[in-house]
């Protein structure tokens, strides 16, 4: 690709370019294309597309991962996969995550974002609560901590014997919580884990929404207030419709995170939790590949995970459109 | 608006990617580059002369490439052997690299045909032997060689240490560190309370009642280590029912978990769970925290584990704990194997890939590690015995656990057994779920049995898994 640049003759390049700007490839144009189009495209093709393609191929083989030999077995892995109760359980858990996590996180962070931007005193200028910049910084703290640390920290907090949660609960007189295994009981493990993920991401999405709300002209809020709209009404009728695209993006990002969720799950319940109640697909994929040496089979899991992720984002866009997200076309 | 258009393009693009992901396998042969390369074996370094000091004919001035799992034992004991080797073979370089994720790191090198010369295939991310077996050297030649002192290596090792590294008659791995599986307790705590170590499950249940009177528990468990109780149960059952139990589970036999010996152990455990002799909450406790409840808080009396436990809990053991090991219980006093029989397996499997550049060098480094000097250095710095006999002095370098290990091994004599199916077929993760539920009191022995049997059956019926027959 770089060789193309040798066609350019420096002494005549300028005039030639002026004469036939549209036809000739100037050094400028070519270098621009190479740097801004060719390079990213090559990187994308090599590091994104090609692994995808390879994984799809391996998913149809019985590759063990440690030799160059493999047999093509067609869709056998997929058939096996959909009869694998553990994987289906993991898929189910991912679906629970993808439904609950984005909704809870987005609702909570939206409420907080409204409070610190437009939820303040109803007199004078539109503003957030008192000391809102302080809350904004504080609520961003969890996002600064790496996921793995969050997981380790909360595992300690949930510890049945010495954990903070049970300490507080038994201290308040709830003796039933003595040695209660929050992460080890089928009824609570998933909820406790989801709480941690929400806790970790609220701050980030709050900041995202704060930025979006700040982009709305203050006159709109003032007008609504003059018309007598309360805070809830303002949020539902003014804020949400105007930052709809941000919410959609947040929903997709959070959903993709929920479909992965590997780090949190692996740290808090590396074995998949009680009765596999917190097992997710990516964990199952990892252990199938690296402890069971079934790379072909685990590639099939990866392909399913990718398909589910794409289907999810497609669904979010579709729902957004059906519910009128595209009506704003002006 | 612009933005709206962009979303549409994005959707179209996503659709395209999805289509590509689905369609491309048709043209699959193009895509096999990661798996396809590296067909030709790497040229092995020219061989040197074979002699007693160089039994494998390692070439002069060659380089040995070793990748060692860096876990509880570190890598300094291999570096020690490496220096020794460099001294014995002037000009040779031993390059010793640490790794904490063996499979992830070495997978591509195996596929590419340029694996290291010596690997310590250990840790959570170890490579499964069934996947790499045909790419490994048979290491019988190393055990048949003479060590640095001139004794044949085979004669310097503990009994049965080849077993865990032998797969279908091929000695694919030499396991370097000797581990015994026992019930660990505080000799001082037992002495202060006048307790004796139980020898059968009935005695254990009686001790559980006494512990309960003192507001203590008999056992404690952590969620990642619930299967330590499976190890205990199998050890008990094999002693009770003899070798047939071991062969049944190891060869994935139909209804193997319903063997009467296993069932009698399971029902004793169920009684202990129902009576509340297990400290509750284990399914939500990290295993190191659970172990500290035993070694530091003394909330539980016994803990079934491998002998690495002393090293693992070094910083969290109460002063004056006097950690001591006892053999796993039998069910009756008329068990087929004596009470003293030990479940002992050598760990840290060292392997030499056949496609390595310096196969002779890998073997030579392993031979050096099995010399008296290197083995004594290991015992001294790690407070754990290697498979080489007679490297632990009577005082055990001041460790009560190490002394008791040596005593237990001597008492067991040739009654040493182990099994490999759990690691070989990667079953631990699935079994953990069942054991956590069982120890939590949320299932019973029958549910545990059928669950374990299903895991075994699934592996047996999976034609893509290579089975290795155990004799």
pLDDT at B112: 87
The DSSP bridge partners found for residue B278 are B219
User: What would the two tokens of residue B198 be?
Assistant: 């139980």
Task: Give the minimum alpha-carbon distance from B57 to chain A in angstroms, rounded to a whole number.
Answer: 27
- B411 interfacial to chain A (CB closer than 8 Å): no
For residues A241 and A216, is the Cβ–Cβ distance under 8 A?
no
- Whether residue B43 is predicted with pLDDT greater than 60 in this model: the reply is no
For residues B370 and B148, is the Cβ–Cβ distance under 8 A?
no
Closest CA to B80 of B71, B68, B62, B91: B68
User: What would the two tokens of residue B390 be?
Assistant: 């007679």
Least confident of A69-78, B4-13, B192-201, B299-308: B4-13
pTM for this model (two decimals): 0.77
CB-based contact B426 A329, cutoff 8 Å? no
- Whether residue A17 is predicted with pLDDT greater than 50 in this model: the reply is no
User: H-helix or E-strand containing B342?
Assistant: strand B342-351
Confidence of residue A15 (pLDDT cuts 50, 70, 90): low
pLDDT at B47: 66
- Cα(B208)–Cα(B200) distance, integer angstroms: 12
- Whether residue B326 is predicted with pLDDT greater than 90 in this model: the reply is yes
CA angle, A279 as apex, A277 and A285 as ends, to 5°? 160
Q: Chain A, 191-210: which have a CB under 8 Å from a chain B CB?
A: none
ipTM of predicted complex: 0.71
pLDDT at A326: 56
On the 0-12 / 13-18 / 19+ scale of CB atoms within 10 A, A132 is: middle
Pick the residue with more confidence: B153 or A7?
B153
pLDDT at B46: 54
Task: Give the minimum alpha-carbon distance from A199 to chain B in angstroms, rounded to a whole number.
Answer: 20
- Whether residue A180 is predicted with pLDDT greater than 80 in this model: the reply is yes
- Strands B174-186 and B166-167: what pairing? unpaired
Least confident of A16-20, A55-59, B68-72, B195-199: A16-20
User: What's the rounded mean pLDDT across residues A162-166?
Assistant: 89
> Could you give phi then psi for residue B112, rounded to 5 degrees?
-75, -5
For tokens 């939206």, the residue is A110
pLDDT at A23: 64
User: What would the two tokens of residue B464 be?
Assistant: 């893509």
On the 0-12 / 13-18 / 19+ scale of CB atoms within 10 A, A3 is: exposed
Neighbouring residues of A236: CB distance < 8 A, sequence distance ≥ 6: none
Closest CA to A293 of B428, B425, B351, B354: B425
- Strands B93-99 and B63-69: what pairing? parallel
Q: Chain B, 431-450: which have a CB under 8 Å from a chain A CB?
A: 432-433, 436-437, 440, 442
Confidence of residue B7 (pLDDT cuts 50, 70, 90): very low
For chain B, how are helix, strand and coil distributed in percent, rounded to 5? 50, 15, 35
For residues B191 and B321, is the Cβ–Cβ distance under 8 A?
no
Task: Give the minimum alpha-carbon distance from B44 to chain A in angstroms, rounded to a whole number.
Answer: 19
Q: What's B252's DSSP letter?
A: T
pLDDT (tens digit per residue) in B150-207: 889 988 888 878 888 888 888 999 999 888 899 999 999 999 999 999 999 999 999 9
For tokens 């001035």, the residue is B61
- B107 interfacial to chain A (CB closer than 8 Å): yes
- Cα(B471)–Cα(B466) distance, integer angstroms: 16
């Amino acid at each position: 690709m770089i060789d193309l640049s040798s066609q350019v003759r420096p002494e005549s390049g300028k005039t030639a370019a002026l004469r036939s700007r549209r036809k000739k490839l100037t050094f400028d144009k070519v270098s621009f294309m190479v740097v801004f189009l060719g390079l990213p495209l090559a990187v994308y093709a090599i590091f994104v597309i090609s692994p995808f393609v390879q994984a799809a191929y391996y998913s149809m083989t019985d590759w063990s991962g440690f030799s160059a030999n493999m047999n093509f077995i067609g869709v056998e892995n997929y058939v096996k996969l959909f009869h694998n109760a553990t994987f289906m359980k993991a898929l189910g858990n991912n679906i629970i995550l993808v439904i609950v996590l984005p909704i809870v996180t987005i609702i909570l962070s939206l409420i907080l974002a409204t409070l610190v931007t437009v939820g303040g005193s109803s007199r004078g200028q539109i503003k957030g609560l008192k000391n809102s910049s302080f809350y904004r910084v504080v609520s961003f703290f969890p996002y600064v901590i790496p996921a793995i640390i969050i997981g380790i920290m909360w595992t300690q907090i949930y510890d049945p014997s010495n954990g903070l949660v049970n300490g507080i609960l038994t201290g308040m007189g709830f003796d039933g919580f003595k040695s209660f295994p929050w992460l080890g009981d089928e009824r609570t493990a998933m909820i406790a884990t989801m709480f941690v993920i929400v806790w970790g991401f609220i701050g980030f999405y709050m900041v995202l929404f704060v930025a979006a709300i700040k982009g709305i002209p203050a006159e709109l809020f003032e007008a609504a207030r003059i018309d007598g709209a309360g805070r809830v009404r303002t949020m539902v009728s003014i804020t949400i419709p105007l930052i709809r695209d941000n919410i959609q993006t947040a929903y997709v990002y959070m959903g993709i995170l929920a479909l992965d969720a590997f780090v949190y799950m692996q740290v808090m319940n590396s074995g998949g939790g009680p009765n596999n109640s917190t097992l997710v697909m990516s964990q199952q994929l990892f252990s199938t590949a690296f402890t069971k040496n079934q790379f072909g089979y685990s590639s099939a899991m990866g392909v399913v995970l990718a398909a589910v992720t794409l289907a999810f984002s497609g669904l979010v866009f579709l729902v957004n459109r059906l519910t009128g997200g595209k009506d704003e076309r002006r | 608006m612009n933005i709206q258009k962009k979303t549409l393009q994005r959707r179209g693009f996503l659709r395209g990617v999805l289509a590509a992901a689905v369609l491309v396998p048709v043209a699959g042969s193009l895509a096999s580059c990661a798996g396809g390369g590296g067909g030709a074996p790497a040229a092995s370094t020219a061989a040197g002369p074979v002699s007693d000091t160089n039994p494998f004919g390692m070439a002069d001035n060659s380089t040995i490439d070793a990748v060692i799992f860096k876990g509880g034992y570190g890598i300094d004991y291999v570096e020690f052997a490496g220096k020794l080797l460099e001294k014995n073979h002037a000009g040779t370089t031993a390059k010793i690299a640490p790794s904490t994720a063996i499979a992830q790191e070495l997978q591509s090198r195996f596929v590419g045909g340029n694996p290291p010369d010596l690997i310590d295939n250990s840790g959570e991310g170890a490579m499964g032997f069934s996947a790499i077996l045909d790419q490994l050297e048979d290491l019988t030649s190393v055990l048949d060689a003479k060590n640095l002192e001139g004794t044949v290596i085979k004669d310097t090792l503990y009994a049965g240490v080849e077993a865990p590294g032998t797969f279908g008659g091929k000695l694919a791995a030499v396991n370097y560190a000797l581990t015994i599986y026992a019930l660990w307790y505080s000799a001082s705590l037992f002495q202060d309370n006048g307790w004796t170590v139980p020898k059968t499950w009935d005695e254990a249940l009686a001790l559980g009642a006494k512990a309960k009177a003192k507001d203590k528990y008999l056992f404690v468990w952590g969620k990642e280590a619930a299967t330590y109780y499976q190890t205990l149960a199998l050890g008990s059952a094999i002693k009770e029912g003899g070798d047939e139990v071991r062969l049944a589970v190891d060869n994935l036999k139909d209804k193997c978990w319903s063997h009467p010996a296993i069932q009698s152990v399971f029902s004793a455990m169920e009684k202990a769970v129902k009576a509340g002799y297990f400290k509750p909450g284990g399914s939500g406790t990290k295993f190191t925290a659970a172990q500290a409840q035993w070694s530091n808080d003394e909330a539980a009396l016994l803990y079934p584990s491998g002998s690495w436990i002393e090293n693992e809990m070094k910083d969290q053991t109460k002063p004056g704990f006097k950690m001591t090991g006892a053999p796993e219980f039998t069910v009756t006093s008329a068990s087929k194997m004596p009470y003293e029989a030990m479940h002992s397996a050598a760990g840290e499997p060292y392997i030499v890939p056949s496609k390595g550049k310096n196969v002779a060098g890998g073997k030579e480094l392993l031979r050096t590690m099995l010399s008296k000097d290197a083995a004594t250095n290991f015992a001294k710095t790690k407070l754990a015995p290697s498979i080489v006999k007679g490297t632990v002095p009577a005082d055990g370098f001041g460790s009560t656990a190490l002394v008791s290990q040596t005593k237990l091994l001597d008492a067991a004599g040739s009654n040493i057994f182990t099994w490999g199916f759990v690691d070989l077929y990667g079953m631990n993760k699935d079994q953990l779920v069942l054991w956590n539920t069982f120890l939590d009191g949320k299932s019973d022995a029958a549910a545990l049995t059928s669950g374990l049997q299903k895991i075994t059956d699934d592996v047996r019926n999976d034609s893509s898994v290579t089975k290795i027959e155990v004799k």
